[in-house]
Amino acid sequence: MRKALVAALMLTLAACSSPAATTTASGAPAELRIGYQLIPNGDLIVKDQKWLEEALPDTKITWTKFDSGGDVNTAMVAGSIDIGLAGSSPVTRGLSAPLNIKYKVPWIFDVIGENEALVARTATTVAELKGKKIATPFSSTAHYSLLAALQDGGLAETDVTIVDLEPPDIQAAWARGDIEAAYVWTPVLGELQKSGKTLITSKDLAAKGKVTADLAVVRTEFADAYPKALQTWLVQQDRAVKLVRGDKQAAAAAVGRQLNLNSAEASRQIDQLILLDGKEQQAAQYLGGGLADNLHSAAQFLFGQKKLDAVPAPEVFKQALAVKELAGAFAG
């Protein structure tokens, strides 16, 4: 019901608002609407430092917080954001029927590692979760990883009760004792780990072939209309990764301000992710082609789990990689 209400609200807002893709005298978009999440990667640094506001002075930069990639997909369908952050599983769904969202992937915010995990209250193995209630945000990378973790632990989805909760609601349900376990990401993950036991992380699952990542998605219409603005956005994201590598203290302070964490904890959470700069993003295993294979593999897995009606052709995912846009931003 909550998801349906969110979808209805987004569609209403899109219908009532004027399109953001209007142009200033300088040829820049009049507004750039960004959907972000509270994940300790370079996007929070760009937001905190107001680099986009400086680089695009004629453009209004609007940041809207989302709790999961599923809600970012809803906003994309509604046309209420231009660029957003969504996990690889939501992007797989977004590029598949029935959504078939017209967006591209120009950037990998991070390859997910220990910052997403399955935490239990009393169970010490995945197998011990049989018959228990587990929370995760549906249509997220955490949901995908939970299904993979259950399969790896010898359990079917029907062996447990999976409930759809966003991260803040998961933390509240955990505090009330309503759930036995949850697959979720930081910063809520860190709160659960204070009293629970980590059974498996997304880093563990990646080693078993179930790789997940946080991806940028940009509306194809926006990317085609404003290639220079997209390139500017990409350059700022690269700048953030380089800040993490060159001045970890400053990067951690920026992320900490956005997550309301001290710098030491922010630094620890940043280290749980794999961040890639612009040159590395273009490598064969990433936007050079490997990411498309990963998304297709995720679609096959989700189809096997009856979470997709059909598996799109590999070409669908290859065409969704904004390879030329990324290369153009770092051609100099």
Give the tens place of pLDDT for each residue, 272-319: 999 999 999 999 999 999 999 999 999 999 999 999 999 999 999 999
pLDDT digits (tens, 9 = 90+) for 117-142: 999 999 999 999 999 999 999 989 99
Topology of the domain covering 2-111+212-329: D-Maltodextrin-Binding Protein; domain 2 (3.40.190)
Q: What is the average per-residue pLDDT within 26-49?
A: 95
**Percentage of residues in the chain with pLDDT exceeding 70?**
93
The domains spanning 2-111+212-329 and 116-207 adopt the same CATH topology: yes
Residue 15 has what pLDDT?
A: 40
pLDDT at 331: 84
Indicate whether 92 pLDDT > 70. yes
- In degrees, rounded to 5, the angle at the alpha carbon of residue 146 between the alpha carbons of residues 174 and 7 is 80
Q: Is pLDDT at 176 greater than 70 in this prediction?
A: yes
Question: What span, in angstroms and rounded, lies between the C-alpha atoms of 180 and 187?
Answer: 19
pLDDT band at 27 (very low <50, low <70, confident <90, very high): confident
Share of the chain above pLDDT 90, in %: 89
For the cut 80, the answer to whether the pLDDT of residue 225 exceeds it is yes
Domain boundaries, given as residue ranges, for the chain: 2-111+212-329, 116-207
> CA-to-CA distance for 268 and 257, rounded, in angstroms?
14
pLDDT value at 29 more than 60: yes
Would you call 131 exposed, middle or buried from its count of C-beta atoms within 10 A (0-12, 13-18, 19+)?
A: exposed
Distance from C-alpha of 292 to C-alpha of 215, rounded to nearest angstrom: 12
Across the chain, what does the average pLDDT equal? 92
pLDDT at 26: 72
Say yes or no to pLDDT of 5 above 80. no
Map tokens 């890639």 to a residue.
Answer: 276
Q: Which of 181-190, 193-202, 203-212 has the lowest mean pLDDT?
A: 203-212
Backbone angles phi, psi at 223, to 5 degrees: -60, -40
Region of poorest pLDDT, from 15-19, 227-231, 296-300: 15-19
Q: What is the pTM assigned to this prediction? A: 0.87
Cis link prior to 98 (omega < 30° from 0)?
yes
Per DSSP, 180 falls in state S
Residue 6 pLDDT > 80: no
pLDDT at 229 (0 to 100): 97
CATH 3.40.190.10 given to domain 116-207:
yes
pLDDT at 332: 67
Instruction: Give pLDDT, residue 24.
Output: 81
Instruction: Give me 9's structure tokens.
Output: 């609200």
Confidence band of 22 (pLDDT split at 50, 70, 90): confident
What mean pLDDT do residues 154-166 have? Answer: 97
The residues, any chain, with a CB within 8 Å of residue 86's CB and separated by 6 or more, are 69, 72, 73, 94, 214, 215, 217
pLDDT higher than threshold 50 for residue 18: no
Lowest mean pLDDT, pick from 46-50, 185-189, 195-199: 185-189
Q: How far apart are CA 87 and CA 15, in angstroms?
A: 26
Encoded tokens for 138: 């549906």
